[in-house]
Structure formats: structure tokens, C-alpha cells
Structure 1
Amino acid sequence: MSILGYLQKIGRALMVPVATLPAAAILMGVGYWIDPVGWGGENALAAFFIQSGSAIIDNMGVLFAVGVAYGMSKDKDGAAALAGFVGFLVLTTLCSPAAVAMIQKIPADQVPAAFGKIKNQFVGILVGIIAAELYNRFSNVELPKALSFFSGRRLVPILTSFVMIVVAFIMMFIWPVVFSGLVGFGEYIQKMGSIGAGVYAFFNRLLIPVGLHHALNSVFWFDVAGINDIPNFLGGAQSIEAGKAVVGITGRYQAGFFPIMMFGLPGAALAIYQCARPENKAKVLGIMMAGAFAAFFTGITEPLEFSFMFVAPVLYVIHAVLTGISVFIAASMHWIAGFGFSAGLVDMVLSSRNPLATQWWMLIPQGLVFFVIYYVVFRFAIVKFNMMTPGRELAVAGDESDGQDVNLSGSSEQDVSGLARQYIAAVGGSANLTGIDACITRLRLNVNDSSLVNEALAKRLGATGVIRLNKTSVQIIVGFVAEKIANAMKTAGDVPAAASAAPAAAPAAAVKPQAVPNAAVIAELVSPVTGEVVALDDVPDEAFASKAVGDGVAVKPTEKVVVSPAAGTIVKIFNTNHAFCLETEKGAEIVVHMGIDTVALGGQGFTRLVEEGAEVVAGQPVLEMDLEYLNANARSMISPVVVSNIDDFSGLVIKAQGQVVAGQTPLYDIKG
């Protein structure tokens, strides 16, 4: 994995501990609403809420250690989180001032002040990363029989505690230097005052496409470089009394986001809607309204930002510049409000009675001004430079789809746990099942005897195909719910075989849907990756080659970026990032599967660039690959691009042959 990909992985993991901040914000916000004058000193109920929120804020370091370890673990297992907790306890105890004085045999008053700050978020992140790497490498290790109890996941916390002894020894020498550097960086930014706040906000937005904004936020929002803006703001009265916060200053790295999230981006959404083609406006209106409401009410801006981030990058740079200006203005004028989750209406209301909130109401007229600025600038740029924002790039007239995800297995009304037990029965019961895994649309099962699999029962349960790879390996095509069913199968307990086990049936000849000559084209797909076209029959995977997963073609990639082959919604990205499912505006379900058996790589070599639920356009980057690593480690990098619900349409018209270019070369048309 590249350095950028690894940093993106850390950035995503940081969202786990950050997700605890809304709880702190709500608890402390309610407390300050109850007792805005005494800050809990005059009302027991207010003190109850404020102290509850403080319990979270005061322990952010250990929350980061636990959350990052969990978020970066290969299978999101609790043992990784436990290892992070153990590692944090060992490291911070050994590097506490008392322990340093005892180990180094120096007077307590000569211990560097840096060790008094060892329990901060930076150390938590460091411990979390180390614990996650130890878990990913050693969670499957089997010890000799006499020590077998400590094998696998149980081994990781033990290893982590020993590794932290070494880390603590190193930290005793380098932590004072690192801490001084971080504090120096924070002081440099703080000396820049409002300009520094604006510069931070500009890069905060600019780094969102690569997922590194969370790492940047940890410097300014938490106690990494001595700024600690969010916890100090949420701390309110306690922060003021402890000398950690200054009224009119603390919160300046947050306040200017409110005008952008609540007003600026909705103004951009209005401009995008009005610039859409007339036949597309109905579709674009729903997307933009949903995104604008999310931004205004909760401060969640990704649905709007990703709608133009890649198709009109100039607009996104403008957005980053305007965000920096807004934060600079709010910081300069000392219009301060803070948040525990994001800069939406909910957080503004909750923070309004915080003793550190000053003239917060002025952020509303500032936001109205930015609404106009965003609307005018975006509309001018879109029209003047003919930018392909949503609704301008592809006509969607006559689209009658309701936008709901389609469940290929037909099991939307069934209980997943019950369905999982029935699939276990269909493969010969728990006694025949030896391993459970899932790819994006199929269950990948290891069995003792594949002839015991009841194919007819599996298809009655909603499976579209059963592939017997050999005597001990079976794949069942169930659609996008494969991962949910697989997880439920792992916890289903003992299940007997179905009453009538069917012997292995001879594989039926694959029937390729024939396109009706005069049928309308409902989707035109472009190649998702640059490379060489390969016929689906030549894909070295029975499920794809037999068209059990769907009809289409494959591409052997020569470039690293994977784009969306059509406009639509990303309804699924597999947790190992090797494949994704796209639902087009006309209901076609496209599976883009990079490589063969790449799920076994555990996510190595793949980085996602968008999240599930994102609305994308043709040519928008979705994944990035480390091709050097994948070509060396994957069974094959031939990558199928198939329509999994092809039976709902009349067929395909293949257009591509030879070399294709991602986002440009037509791949095939889907006929209605």
C-alpha cells in the first residue's frame, strides 16, 4: 500500500473515536442550556450532564488508542480495540512523570514537562496504529499445543504490552523533542491568529478528496500541537477555570465552518440545480435538496461536495478558498460557536449557551452572505466554463426509478439470521460447512463435500447461481446482501442439513440475453479502468465466466485509478475495497470487480475514494489500486464489469475491444 493509501486508512480510522464527540457535545450542550450562568454550579441536573460530557472529553487519548486500533484492524475485531487499550495503559504508565523519575533516577522536579502530557490524542493515535498492525500480523498465529489458549486474537494484547515497553523506552528519549516540535508548530499557527485559522480551514476542505483532513483536524481540534480547540470549547466553564480556553479565541478553528455548512453549500446546491438541463432537473432537485438539508441541519457535507468534487475540481478549489475566508472572518470578528460533530444547526443550538460562545448569532448573517456568494460564483463558473455538474452531463429524462437500492437476492422482507440458517442447511448443514467468507455478491464457502449442496433449495432462497469450484469449495450468488448473510452464518450456531440433499447437478449452459434490435439504450457504460479488454468467457473464475454473476466484459488494468462506468449510486463497496456495485439511474446493477480472488488480500492494494451511498457520474474516481503490489500478489488482475440483473433487460451490445481508457472508451450498452 502506498504512503497516501496508508494515511487515508488512518484518516478513516480516526472517525471511530471522533464519533464519540457528538455524545459529549449533546451532554454538555444540554447542561449549559439548563444552567447558562452557573455552568453546573447552581443546578445539580446541569452538573450531571456537564460532568458526563467531560468524562468523554477528558479521556480522548485512550479513546483514540482504542478507536484507531479497531478502525485499522483487518476485520474490525474487539481484540484489536482491547490491544489498543492495553497498549495505551502500558505506554502512558511507563512514561508518566513518576515512572520516568523512578526509571531514570532523577528528581521529580527535573522530569521534562512533556511527560505530563503523555496521555494526549497524538500518543493515542500512535498506540492505535501499532496495536492494529500487531493484530493484523499476529491474530492468526497458532502457538504450540501447551500454549494454545493464548493463540490467535488472545496473543495480540500480550504482544502489544511487551512491544509498548520498547516503545516507552524510545519515547523517554524522543517524546520531549516530538512534543516540543508539535507545540512549536501549534504556537506558530496560533501566532498567525485569524490568518492561521483560515489557512487551516482551506487545507481542511482541500484534503477531503484524499481522506487526510481527519489527520489535519487532529492537530487543530485536539491536543496534539497544543491547540485542542474542540475539547477546550466543549469544556466550557472547566476549560476557562483551568486556563485552557480564552473567550473569543477558543473555537476560532470551528466557528467559520457554520456559514459554509449551513448556508454556503446549500447556495451551491441551488446553483447546480438551476444549471441542470430541463429534463434532468427533477432528478437533480431530489439529490440537491437532500444534500442541502443534511449540510444545514447536521453539517454533513460529503453528499454535496462529492457531487462536484471530481467532475468540477475548479469549483471544489473555490469552495476550499471560500471556507478559508469564512473561518478567517469569523475568527477575526470573534464570532464564535463550536461543535462536537459538525457545523450544522444542531451543534449551533447546543453550543449557543456555552460560556465560550461569543456573538454566535452573527454567524447567521455571515452565512446568508455566503449563500449568495456561493450561488453567484458557482452559477457563473458552471455556465461560463460549461462544467459537467450533476444534471448537465447525462440526460435522465423519463427516469421512473424511485432511487431505492435493489436487493438482488429478493430477501428484503426476510430476516437475515433466518435466511443465513437456511443457506447453511442448503449446503449440507453445519457439519458440512468448514469456512465462510463473502465477496461483493456471493458467498464463498468451504465444505467437506460440495456434492451435498442443495442447489435447488439455494435458488428457492433467492440465489441466482451455485458454483462448485471443486469438492471443497462452493460459491453461491446471492447479490449485495452477501456480506450480511455471511456474517449471520458465522453466528448461526449448529444447523442440520436440509431434509433432501440434492446431488450435484450438471451445470446448465449459460444463456446470453440477446439484445432486441430496436430496444432503447437505457445505459451507456464506459470502461472503469485503462487496460485491455478480455472476453468474459476468458475470465479465470467460474462464477464470472459462466455468467452466473451477470453478463458483461472484463478489463486487464494497466493504470491505477478505477472510475465509475456510468452515472448512478454506489450502493455497495466491499469492506476490502476490491469491488463495488453501482445502480444506474434506470435500475441497472453494475458489479465492478477488480481482479480475481483479490478479496483474499484483505484490502491490501486498494483504496476507496468515495463512500457507499455516494451519487457518482461516469468517469468519477471510485477506487485507487497499487498495481505493482496487486500484479505480484493477486491470482489475476483481469477485472469483470458485469450487469448482475441482466435478466431485467433485453441484453448488451459490446462496443469495446483492444485497449480502453478509463472514463472515456465506450464499453457496452445495456438495452431496455
Structure 2
Amino acid sequence: MSILGYLQRVGRALMVPVATLPAAAILMGVGYWIDPVGWGGDSALAAFFIKSGSAIIDNMSVLFAIGVAYGMSKDKDGAAALTGFVGFLVLTTLCSPAAVSMIKHIPADQVPAAFGKIQNQFIGILVGIISAELYNRFSGVELPKALSFFSGRRLVPILTSFVMIIVAFILMLVWPIIYDGLVAFGEHIQKMGSAGAGVYAFFNRLLIPVGLHHALNSVFWFDVAGINDIPNFLGGAQSLAAGKAEVGITGRYQAGFFPIMMFGLPGAALAIYHCARPENKAKVLGIMMAGAFAAFFTGITEPLEFSFMFVAPALYVIHAILSGISVFIAASMQWIAGFGFSAGLVDLVLSTRNPLATHWYMLIPQGLVFFVIYYVVFRFAIVKFNMMTPGRELAVAGSEADGEDKNLSANGEQDIPQLARQYIAAVGGSDNLTGIDACITRLRLSVKDSSVVNDAMAKRLGASGIIRLNNTSVQIIVGFVAEKIANSMKTVGHVDAAPAGDADPAPVAKAQAVSSGAQTLVTLVSPVTGDVVALNDVPDEAFASKAVGDGVAVKPTEKTVVSPAAGTVVKIFNTNHAFCLETAEGAEIVVHMGIDTVALGGQGFTRLVEEGAQVAAGQPVLEMDLSFLNANARSMISPVVCSNIDDFGGLVVKASGSVVAGQTPLYEIKAK
């Protein structure tokens, strides 16, 4: 694995301990709201909340050790987390001032100050990485029978304890040098004052495409270089009393993000929507509204940023520059607010009663100004330089580009296991896939050869971007459902790669390969009146490559859609454009009316039965407004596929030319 790929793994693992910060932010925020003057001194209830939150903040270093060890472990087992905890205890105890004084035989007052800061997030990350590597290497080791109790996962904490003794002796020599270097770096940034905060914010945004912003954040947000901005801010009164925080200073590496995330990016979203072609505005509106709401309310900006990051990289650089300017302005003016998760409305409200929040309300007018700046700058740049932001692709790409922009917030409509199989096919199949992980909106995949990843197919499945970090690391932007898809990808099993050529063999060719003596288990009738289309002629890579399943398609000429066989309707999509049927024989049939019709938001479709209904072959399930659909859908060619055809002996296509709904046999599914 390359250095960049390894740092990616570390960045992903850091999300585990960082995910505990919202709990601290909420608990301490509620406490400060209850007692904004005494900060827990005048209210037992407020003290209860503040102390509960500080329990997390005060132990962030050990949480980093546990979280990174768990996050980088190969199977996300609790034993890996325990290993990280054991390693942290051993290392920090051996490198404590008292232990150093005893081991080195030097007076306590001569112990370097660095050892008084050994319990910090940097050491936590280091311990977590070492513990995870030991776990991944030795958790499967089998010892001789007499020692079998200590085999496997039980062996790892023991090994970690001994390894940490060696690491402790090394740190006794190098930790003072490392610590002094980190402090010097932090002091250099601090000496730059507000300008340093702006420089940090600029690089924070630039590193997001490769996921390395987490490593940069650790320097400024946590106690790696002596800054510790987030914990000190969330500590509020406690930090002030301990001399760890300064009003108007602590929080300056956070405050300026509020105007960007709550206002600036929504302004960019509005500009992108206004610049979309008229026929695409309905789809773009859905994408931009969902992304803008997520950014404003929670501070999660990836759905918006990835919508233009790669199609218009110049805009993303402008975004990074404006982010730096915003953080610089807020820091210079001492308009301070902080966050435990991200710079959205929730964190802004929670931080308003924090004693370290100064003139926080000025971030709102600053945000309104940045809303206008983002809107004007983005709209001017998009139009002036004809940038291909979402909804403008048809200007140069032709009709084939239409439909590739999917609403990332609509992932709840999709069958996750089926989508997981399709993404495995899109990256070259299981044989090309060596590692699966995810963050909030991204599939982070390790592959043998990134060049075989099918970008077009991934975008048809709903991905808004594909990032090739190197020959073996790929990220696919899928929205908030990323973790569900990744988990499902780990369990769905083998999936063949999508073909590199133009198409799979036609269904007839597969039919000829089925044994002539194979028993017919079920015969499907056409679900709609119309004309038969071979599956490899369907204008959608996922269906044409047979990643979804095998079958045929029909271009409808009548409005009624019926069940192609007797069975149970196990799923009707919220937009009513497709349904899944399970027959008594176990065949899983997907009837998908049109291509990219999910983007119509349910317009043109009416369901006639509900999920869970038992239906007979030929029973009406949907009704379509064909005039509307033919005018607005990308294509009304409608695939009818068996998604689990591998469980059977194959299928034989029986129809050609014109077919009649509920009457004309479409294909037969054969027994193995």
C-alpha cells in the first residue's frame, strides 16, 4: 500500500474517536444554557451536564488510541479496541514524569516538560496505529495446545504490552525532540495570528478530496502542537479557570467555518441551480436543496462540495480561498463560536452560551455576506467559463450525460444489497476488490487496478464523483448511505466484473447455453404491453452489463403495468417507478419502468397495490401516464430482470417483437 493510501486509512480511523465529540458538545452546550453565568457553579443540573461532557474531552487521547486501533483493524473487532487501550496505558505510564525520573535516575524537576504532555492525541494516534497493525498481523496466530488459551485475539494485548515497552524506551529519547518540534510549529502558526487561522482553513478545504484534512485538523483542533482548539473551547469555564483558553482567541480555528458551511455553500448551491439547463433544473434542485440543508443544519458539506469539486476544480479552489478569508475575518474580529462536530446550526446554537463564544451573532451577518459572495462569484465563473456544474453537462456531452446526477439524499429508496452488488461490479468485480471502507459520504475502496473501475456505471448507480488516488485506491461519492453500502459490499459475496467491452452476450446467447432438458420453474409474462428490447441494448450500464440481473426489457405502449408472475410484492420504490417481486420458487424479479425515472420524484406513476401484497400473474401493480413519461423520462425502455439468476440454471427468452401485458410469455427460469 502507498503512503497516501495508508494515510487514508488513518484518516478514516480518526473519524471513530472524532464521532464522540458531538456528545461532548451537546452535554456541555446544554449545561452552559442552563447556567450561562455560573457555568455549573450555580446549578447542580448544569454541573451535571458540563462534567459529563468534560469526561469525554478530558480523555480524548485514550479515545484516540482506542478508536484508531478499532478503526484500522481488519475486522472491526472489540479486541482491537481493547488492544489500543492496553497499549496506551502501558506507554503513557512508562513515559510519565514519575516513571522517567525513576528509570533514568534523574530528579523529578529535571524531567523534560514533554513527558508531562505524553497523554495527548498524537500519542493516542501512534498507539492506535501500532495496536491495529499488531492485531491485524497476530490475531489469527495459533499457539501450541498447552498455550492455546492465549491464541488469536487474546495474544494481541500481551504482545502489545511488550511492544509498548520498546516504544516507550524509544520515545524517552525522541519524544522531547518531536514534542518541541510540534510546539514550534504550533507557535509559528499562533504567531501568525488570524492569518495563520486563514492559512489553516485554506489547506483544510484543499485536502478534503484526498481525505487528509483529518490529519491537518489534529494539529489545530487537538493537543498535538499545543493549540487544542476544540477541547479547550468545549471546556469553556473549566478551560478558562485552568488557563488553557483565552477569550477571543480560543475557537478562532473554528469560528470562520460557520459562515461558509451555513451560508456560503448554500449560496453556491443556488448559483449552480440557476445555471443548470432548464430541462435539468428539477433534478438539480433536489440535489442542491438536500446538500444545502445538510450544510446549513449539520455542517456536513461533502454532498455539495463533491458535486462541483471534480467537474469544476477551479470553483473548488475559489471555495478554499473564500474559506480561508472567512476564518481570517472571524479570527481578526474575534467573532468566535465553536463546534463539537461541524460548523452547522446545531453547533452554533449549542455554543452561544459558552463563555468563550464572543460576538458569535456577528457570524450570521458575515454568513449572509458570504452567501452573496458565493452566489455572485460562482454564477459568474460558471457562466463566463462554461463550467460543467451539475445540470450543464448537456451543453457539451450530449443526451448521454443526462440522468447521471442523482439525488444523494434519495438513497433511502434503494435496495442496499442490490446496490452493493452493482458497485462491486462497477469497480471490476470481487477479484479486483481488496479492501472496503467508508466515511460519511464516500466508499473508500482498495483495488488491484483502479483503471478497470467503470466510472459511467458508478455514476448511473448514483455516484456523484469517482476519485482515483493512485493505482490501488479509489473513492466513490455516494452520499449519506455510504456506510450501509460498504457494509453490504462486505457481505453480498462474489460479483463478476462489469464487462470491459460494449455489452454482454445477448440474452438469446445465454438461452442457448441453458440445458435443453432443464426443468422450467416459472414462466414470466410481460408486465406491460409494448416492444421487446434485448437487455444489452438498454441505455443504462448497470442493466446492460447484467450487474442487476439477467432478463429482457420492454418499451411500453400501454399504461398498465402488471405482475409478471404470481408472488409477493416485497418492495415498491417510494417514487413508484419500480417494484420487486418474489415468486414461490424464490426468484427475485425486478420490474424497472424506464431509465432514470427515479429523478421524476414519482410523477407519472400510480401504485395500485402495496408492499407485501400477494399478486397473481397479470394483476395490475402500477399505472403510468405515458404521455408525461415519454416527454420527461430519459428513456422508457423498461428492464425486467431476475436479480438472483445465479441461484437457478439460467433463463430462456421466449418473446420477441410485440408483447401483451399479462399474456405474452417473456422468459422462462430454469432449474439447475
SS at match of 1:182: helix
Describe the SS at the equivalent of 1:101: helix
Partners of 1:182 and 1:224 within 8 A in 2: yes
| Alignment CA distance shift 1:637-1:8 (3 Å) | farther
Verify the 8 A CA contact 1:557 1:637 in the aligned structure 2: no
- Give, in whole Å, the separation in 2 of the partners of 1:133 and 1:157: 12
The equivalent residue for 2:475 is: 609
Q: Which residue number corresponds to residue 113 of structure 2?
A: 113
- List alignment gaps of at least 5 residues for structure 2: 433-446, 487-493, 508-526, 528-532, 540-594, 596-634, 639-672
Partner of 2:62: 62
State the Cα distance separating 1:133 from its structure 2 match: 0.6
Counterpart of 1:209 in structure 2 is: 209
Q: Deviations over 1:346-367 (max 9, x none)?
A: 0000000100000000000000
Q: Distance in 1 between matches of 2:412 and 2:20?
A: 30
Paired residues of 1:263 and 1:370 also in contact (CA < 8 A): yes
1:56-107, Cα deviation, whole Å (9 max, x unpaired): 0000000000000111111111111110000000000000000000111111
Q: Is the 8 A contact 2:451 2:471 kept in 1?
A: no
What is the aligned partner in structure 2 of residue 17 from structure 1? 17
Q: Which shifted more, 236-245 or 401-410?
A: 401-410
Equivalent AA in structure 2 for residue 652 of structure 1: N
Please report how far the alpha carbon of residue 650 of structure 1 lies from its aligned counterpart in structure 2 after TM superposition. Answer: 3.7
1:652 aligned onto 2:536: yes
Do the aligned partners of residues 558 and 297 (structure 1) sit closer, same or farther apart at CA in structure 2, a change above 3 Å counting?
closer
Return the letter of the residue paired with 2:147: L
How far apart, in 2, do the equivalents of 1:213 and 1:398 lie? 28
Whether 1:273 aligns to 2:277 is no
Structure 2 equivalent of residue 579 of structure 1: none
Aligned sequence identity (%): 75
- In structure 2, the CA distance between the partners of 1:640 and 1:73, relative to structure 1 (3 Å rule), is farther
In the superposition, the TM-score normalised over structure 2's length comes to 0.66
Name the residue aligned to 1:475: none
TM-aligned CA deviation for residue 407 of structure 1: 2.4
TM-score between both structures, scaled by the size of structure 1: 0.66
Q: Partner residue of 2:90?
A: 90
- Which residues of 2 match residues 518-529 of structure 1 at below 5 A? none
Going from structure 1 to structure 2, the CA distance change for 1:359 and 1:78 (only over 3 Å counts) comes to same
Residue 129 (structure 1) shift = 0.4
Query: Residues 360 and 563 of structure 1: is their aligned pair in 2 closer, same or farther, counting only changes over 3 Å?
Result: farther
Which residue does the alignment assign to 1:241?
241
CA shift digits 1:296-351 (9 cap, x unpaired)? 00100000001111111111111000000000000000000000000000000000
- Inter-CA distance 9–557: structure 2 relative to 1 (3 Å threshold): closer
**Aligned residue type for 2:249:** I
Letter in 1 for 2:456: P
User: How much does 1:398 deviate?
Assistant: 13
Q: Give the counterpart letter for 1:84 in structure 2.
A: G
- Inter-partner Cα distance in structure 2 for 1:297 and 1:175: 41
The equivalent of 2:99 in structure 1 is 99
Q: Secondary structure at 2:473's aligned position in 1?
A: strand
Q: Which of 455, 466, 490 is the matching residue for 1:564? A: 455
Residue 407 of structure 1 aligns with an amino acid whose one-letter code is: D
Contact conserved, 1:209 with 1:609, CA < 8 A, in 2?
A: no
Q: How does 1:175-574 map to 2 (within 5 A)?
A: 175-394=175-394, 396=402, 405-407=413-415, 440-441=420-421, 560=451, 562=453, 564-566=455-457, 568=459
Q: Deviation of residue 568 (structure 1)?
A: 3.9
Decide whether the 8 Å contact of 2:405 with 2:462 is kept in 1. no
1:303–1:615 Cα contact (<8 Å) kept: no
Helix, strand or coil for the counterpart of 1:25? helix
CA distance in 1, matches of 2:305, 2:87: 37
Mapped partners of 1:347, 1:341: distance in 2: 7
Determine helix, strand or coil for the equivalent of 2:250: coil
Contact 1:22-1:341 within 8 A present in 2 as well: yes
Deviation at 1:152, TM superposition (A): 1.1
Aligned-residue offset at 1:606 = 4.0
Amino acid aligned to 2:476: V
The Cα shift of 1:607 comes to 2.7
- CA shift for structure 1 position 639: 6.5
Corresponding residue SS for 2:456: coil
2:32 and 2:46 in contact (8 A); partners too: yes
Instruction: Give the Cα–Cα distance (whole angstroms) in 2 for the partners of residues 398 and 239 of structure 1.
Output: 50
Q: Confirm or deny: 8 A CA contact 1:32 1:353 kept in the other structure.
A: yes
2:576 is aligned to none
Q: Give me the whole-angstrom Cα distance separating, in 2, the residues matched to 1:80 and 1:324.
A: 38
User: Separation in 2 of the partners of 1:607 and 1:399?
Assistant: 23
For residues 25-45 of structure 1, the C-alpha deviation after alignment (integer angstroms, 9 at most, x for no partner) is: 000000000000001011100
Question: Relative to 1, partners in 2 of residues 1:187 and 1:399: Cα closer, same or farther, differing over 3 Å?
Answer: closer
Deviations 1:177-200 (A, max 9, x none): 100000000000000000000000
Aligned to 2:36: 36
Unaligned runs of 5+ in 1: 411-438, 442-478, 483-524, 530-535, 542-555, 570-581, 586-591, 595-603, 617-621, 624-634, 656-668
- Verify the 8 A CA contact 2:69 2:83 in the aligned structure 1: yes
Could you tell me how far apart the structure 1 residues matched to 2:147 and 2:49 are? Answer: 47
Change (3 A) 1:400 1:162: closer
1:147 and 2:147 are equivalent in the alignment: yes
Deviations 1:548-599 (A, max 9, x none): xxxxxxxx99765846215747xxxxxxxxxxxx3489xxxxxx9x9xxxxx
Given that 1:382 and 1:388 are in contact with CA atoms closer than 8 Å, whether structure 2 keeps it comes out as yes
Contact 2:449–2:472 (Cα < 8 Å) also in 1:
no
Instruction: Summarize deviations over 1:461-485 as a string: whole Å, max 9, x none.
Output: xxxxxxxxxxxxxxxxxx78x9xxx
Are the aligned partners of 1:32 and 1:39 in contact in 2 as well (CA < 8 Å)?
yes
Matched residue, 2:135: 135
The secondary structure found in structure 2 opposite 1:565 is helix
Alpha-carbon displacement from aligned partner over 1:440-464 (angstroms, at most 9, x marks no partner) = 53xxxxxxxxxxxxxxxxxxxxxxx
SS of the aligned residue for 1:149 comes to helix
Match of 2:4 in 1: 4
Equivalent residues, number: 484
Judged with a 3 Å threshold, the aligned counterparts in structure 2 of structure 1 residues 350 and 320 are, in CA distance, closer, same or farther, namely same
Paired with 1:239 and 1:40, the residues of 2 have a C-alpha distance of 13
User: What amino acid does structure 2 have at the position aligned with 1:15?
Assistant: M
Match of 1:53 in 2: 53
- For the pair shown, which has the larger CA radius of gyration, 1 or 2? 2
Q: For residues 188 and 88 of structure 1, do their structure 2 counterparts lie closer, same or farther at Cα, with a shift above 3 Å needed? A: same
